Structures are given as structure tokens and as C-alpha cells.
Structure 1
């Protein structure tokens, strides 16, 4: 791989202020932590306290709320990937995305493959085609499942990266035919996989953010808080799988609109979200968010089994789940920290060092 080139300027019609958005970075961390929270609450409801009606009644909206944050990940990607797709060549853009996503994904996919081969807990995922579709992110097209828990969303991410990268290239090079092809492919992807609407929401927010639409509004902090609370309530009302007919449900459309509205406020650098999530804990969670997202199922599930074996889940459901949650969260953060260093930071450092190494022109001479 050649050395990655400096980024290009974005088109004039796509304003971009540059720099890291602390609100967005912290929101990544909160999203990963909330997915973990959802698995702690929802997993114990399904596997431990399934006969506790009171616990089930309270845990269901919490589960709904936590799992919804996966779609917030999609909106964040729409916001941050669009400028990246325009700033880099397709090759450099693809290289950066693969270095960001694939090493960690591959490690935990291989762990799943090895574990499932030994235990045969999910025999339908032991066949070679399913494994290859998963490892190449083509499982959506093949109608098969991803392997490692939570990785289903990564297939959506990779599909979006491909469309965004090629779309940006087609626009900058003024290739009308390719523009039309990518437009049709994007529409088809959106229709067949409507979860991808949240990528579009992120893109629209980026465009409006660059035009400083929100900055002109009065009482922005109050409007942001109202939008956030409204979204939290709407997201807790249902579990969104976007199955056939679900898009006709009012709560689904309301949740989409509120996500767009809240995100439009949250991305401002002086937003309430940015001020709260500029704290070190939130920025740290943002840094390890990808590792936390993929690692925590491998902590949560064995920890739950240990708690069950030791009878730590008592009749006091909420106290038991609280203790279980604290232990699981601490172990997940520790594992995510190690994972980030080994499988995110270190591979990128290796590639960077390799790409910038001096090249030998002739014996005894370095360029």
C-alpha cells in the first residue's frame, strides 16, 4: 500500500469546518454503552427473570431505548463519512475504512467461528458459504446472518461506505453514468433495507449543519433538550426491526423525525450534548466505542452464566441486575480498552509505519 495522501478540499457546495466534533465523538461512546445497557436489561429479562411480570414491564422500554442507539450509530456515520468520502480518493477512503473496521471485526469473527465449530450452538452458521458471506460483508445480499454478535450493523456500514465512496468519486469526476448507477443502487438499498434511512438522516444533518441553519434559531438549548427527551420517549415505545409494514406505523416515522431533529441540534459545537459529552469519561468511551460495541457480548454472556451458576440472581430482580450490570460494565470497559490497543490502534500504527518507511533507491542510499 502506498502512503496515504493528504485530504482534498470539499466541493464549495458542501461546507465543512473540519476538526473533531466532541459532541459526536462522545455520542459514539454513549451509544455503545447504551447497547451494552440494553443487553444487560433485556438479556436478564429473557434468560433470568422471564417469569417476573413486574421486571418485564419495566425492562421492555429500557431494552427498546438501548437498542435504538444502533440507529444513532448509523446517523453518526452518515454525518462523518460524507466529508471523508469527498476528501479522499476511493482507494485511500477504502483503505482508511478497512483499517478502521476490519481488524477488530475479523478477530471476533474468528473467535465466533472457532467457538461455534466446537460447540455447534448455531449449526446454521457453521457452513462455509455463510462464513464467507459474513467475512466479506455480503451476507445482506445473500440473505444470511453475520457471525459475531452485533456485527449485523457493520454490514450496513460497509454497504454505506461503498455507496458513499463511489458516489463522491462520481460527483467529483463528473461521471454522469456512474452517478446515475449509484443513485439507483442507493435507492434500491434504501427501499430493500429501510434501516439505512438513518444514514440519510446523518447526511442531511451534515449538509444543514454546514449551512448553519440551526445557529440562527432562538432558544437552541431548550429545543435540543425537548427533542432529546421526546426521542428518548418515542424510542422506548417500540423495538424497531423495520419489518414489512413497520414503516407505516406512526411511532416509527415519529422516531425517525425526532432522531433527525435531535441530531441536527446535537452536532453543533456549542450544543448541550457537546458540552456534556466533552467530559473525559465521554470522550474516552467515544475512543473505545467500536471495541466496546463488539467486545461486550463476549463479556456479558459468560458473566451472566457465572451469575446464574452461583445463584447471584435473587428474588430482588433490580438489585441483582444492578450488581450484574456493574460487574459486566467494568469487565467490558477493561476488555474494550485492551481490544482498542491491540486490534484498532496497533494495526493502524503498523500500517502507518510501513507506509512511511524510507524506500531504498540503491544500495546504501535511502530516499
Structure 2
């Protein structure tokens, strides 16, 4: 998930290239939403407005899958060697401040713009919990559905921590058994279990976890076999999505061979940025790029669509596209600068102290 910020300490160096990869994933999702999905904010389908770019951006939805792989890597890194209170405090303080800001800003926008998602006041309040999906309540931003998926992954890691902490053996067992059990739950119509185990997304998180173990411990046959299993399961999930669901969101064909290649590239890119040659990059701007990713993901939907609907037809579509992206990046920077930076660390400390209190 976009909120999976990379931890940093003298013993845990920051992987700047992985921050940059997170921004690539966010921009891919943004481009998909602005230039490919079947929305009427342009006055017609986005794919018709941008026929050439949409040949490529139609695959931008895979940025979400890339987020999940990176999240599997980063969350296992965050949890390794840490107790449950520290993990919970870290995740809550990272997820919620920017999210609350995005919800409030979006509700204010929708108060005077009828083109966005309209929610009742009580529904907006439930949105602040990040658990609106559990009550089948509309999210104020379409991209928020992924946060509910992330919370379920955090729950599984939290259970592992509560049962005695993260070890190599436990991490491998979870990463290899979880996706298989999740698929069995779906196949046997065990709805509650399937909902908790998120079968459509489990292999992405699990694959990211195994990539972290490769980063931490080097080449390992068992980890490699588990990674291969999860990559295969990810390809299966991605091709099913391409065939059955992608056309629901756009009227353009999705090539399953292209999707297969992109899934392989996705895992290769995370490996290159964490254990390969790109892991040594130390460009400081990549750290800022990673910091902006989560708030950008949170706000790009409705605010970008507002700019598009307001300006479409008054100037070049490509200029409107640039302005929509610029507004989203500006809002992301403002949330990072004035919400995340001042709030995160004090909130984390207070939550940790409260959770550790007898």
C-alpha cells in the first residue's frame, strides 16, 4: 500500500530506489485513472480522449499490485525484531493522519462539486475509520478500497507478532501457506475466511515478504521456491483480472501476455531496488518521492477529476492533464509537509507508550 513508508535507522539503511519505485506505481495509477478508465469527466471516455497514451496507461492499474508487493517487503521489514505495540503504533501513525486530511478535504470538495462521490454525513464519519468497506459504505475516494486490503494484511502480521514475533521460519510459512489457504477458502465458499485472507491479493504481499527475506539473508532455495510459487499465483490473478474485470473500467482490450510480462517486471524491479544494483542508489530526491506517494495516492482521484471536469473543453486536453496532476502533487506535498511530518512521530510515540502501558 502506498502508506508503507520505508523504515530508516543506522542498522536498517533506507532503500531510496524502492521509494522511487513507489512513486512510479502511484503515477501509473494516476495515469490510468486520468487517461484510460471509462469516466465522463472529459466529456467522453478517457481512452477516446487519449487514444495513443491509453495504449500504455491501460495497464496502469497494475500499479496497485506493485504497491502490494512493496508493502509486503516493507511491512515485514518494519515488523522484524519489533514488538506488537511498536508495530501497531508505527502503522496507525503512518496511515491515519494523511488519510484523515484527505477525507476532510474530499468531503469539503464534494460539498460544492456534484461530480464527485456524494456521501451522507454519517457515511463521511465512517470513512474516517478507514473501515467503511466492512459496512458496505461508499468511500469518498475510489482508491480507498486498497487501504481495507492493507489493513487485513497488517492484521495477519499483527497476529504473527502477538504469537511470539517474526522469525525467518514463521515468515516463510506465512508467505507460502497464506495464498494457498486463501484460495482454498474462496474455492470452498468460506466467505468470512476468504474476506480475511484476501485471496486476490495475498500472493503479492507474500511475494514481497519473500523478497525482503532475500534482501535480509541473501540467496536461499526455500525462499526462492516460495517466491516462484507466489509469482505464478500473481500471474494467474492478474490474467483473471485482465480477462474478467479490466474491461469493466475501460473499453479497451487488455493483453494477458503483456500483463504476464509486467507482473514479472514488477517483481524483478522490487528485487533490483532492494537486493540488486539499484539498492545502492542514494539520490535524496527519491526519499521525498517516496514520502509524497501515499498522500498523492489518497487525493489524486476526486481532485484530479474535479480539475478535469472544470477545465475540459476550455484548453488542450494534455494541458488539463498536466494541471490535474500538478494539483494532485501540490495537495500531496501540503499534506506531507503540514500533516504527516509534524504529526507522525509524536503520534507514534504516544500510541506506543499507551499500548505498552500495563
Give unpaired runs (5+ residues) of structure 1: 1-6, 8-16, 215-230, 244-248, 314-319, 358-367
What secondary structure sits across from 2:312 in the alignment? helix
Corresponding residue number in structure 1 for 2:338? 342
- 2:217 is the counterpart of 1:206: no
Corresponding residue number in structure 1 for 2:161? 168
Deviation at 1:186, TM superposition (A): 7.4
Deviation at 1:81, TM superposition (A): 0.5
Corresponding residue number in structure 2 for 1:36? 30
Query: CA, structure 1 residues 257+31, in 2 after alignment: closer, same or farther (shift >3 Å)?
Result: closer
Corresponding residue number in structure 1 for 2:253? none
Please tell me whether the aligned partners of residues 93 and 345 of structure 2 are also in contact (alpha carbons under 8 angstroms).
no
Corresponding residue number in structure 2 for 1:25? 19
Please tell me whether the aligned partners of residues 37 and 45 of structure 2 are also in contact (alpha carbons under 8 angstroms).
no
- 2:96 is the counterpart of 1:102: yes
Corresponding residue number in structure 1 for 2:271? 264
Please tell me whether the aligned partners of residues 15 and 273 of structure 2 are also in contact (alpha carbons under 8 angstroms).
no
Give unpaired runs (5+ residues) of structure 2: 1-6, 183-193, 221-234, 248-255, 354-358
Please tell me whether the aligned partners of residues 132 and 139 of structure 2 are also in contact (alpha carbons under 8 angstroms).
yes
Corresponding residue number in structure 1 for 2:143? 150
Q: 1:329 aligns with which of 321, 325, 330?
A: 325
Specify the structure having the higher radius of gyration (Cα): 1
Equivalences for 1:53-68 in 2 at 5 Å?
55=49, 57-68=51-62
Deviations 1:212-241 (A, max 9, x none): 229xxxxxxxxxxxxxxxx9xx99x94885
Deviation at 1:154, TM superposition (A): 1.2
Deviations 1:8-47 (A, max 9, x none): xxxxxxxxx7211112111112222222222332369743
Corresponding residue number in structure 1 for 2:203? 197
- 2:294 is the counterpart of 1:290: yes
Measured in 1, the distance between the counterparts of 2:37 and 2:23 equals 21
Query: CA, structure 1 residues 51+199, in 2 after alignment: closer, same or farther (shift >3 Å)?
Result: closer
Deviation at 1:167, TM superposition (A): 1.4
Aligned length: 303
Measured in 2, the distance between the counterparts of 1:194 and 1:92 equals 29
Q: Which moved more, 1:43-52 or 1:66-75?
A: 43-52
What secondary structure sits across from 1:201 in the alignment? helix
Measured in 2, the distance between the counterparts of 1:312 and 1:184 equals 48
Please tell me whether the aligned partners of residues 190 and 196 of structure 1 are also in contact (alpha carbons under 8 angstroms).
no
Please tell me whether the aligned partners of residues 31 and 72 of structure 1 are also in contact (alpha carbons under 8 angstroms).
yes
What secondary structure sits across from 2:34 in the alignment? helix
Please tell me whether the aligned partners of residues 86 and 169 of structure 1 are also in contact (alpha carbons under 8 angstroms).
no
CA RMSD between the two structures:
4.3
Corresponding residue number in structure 2 for 1:50? 44
Query: CA, structure 1 residues 143+257, in 2 after alignment: closer, same or farther (shift >3 Å)?
Result: farther
Measured in 2, the distance between the counterparts of 1:308 and 1:142 equals 35
Measured in 2, the distance between the counterparts of 1:120 and 1:49 equals 15
Measured in 1, the distance between the counterparts of 2:101 and 2:95 equals 11
Deviation at 1:131, TM superposition (A): 4.4
Deviation at 1:254, TM superposition (A): 6.0
Measured in 2, the distance between the counterparts of 1:22 and 1:62 equals 26
Measured in 1, the distance between the counterparts of 2:117 and 2:288 equals 38
Deviation at 1:192, TM superposition (A): 4.7
- 2:77 is the counterpart of 1:83: yes
- TM value normalised by structure 1: 0.67
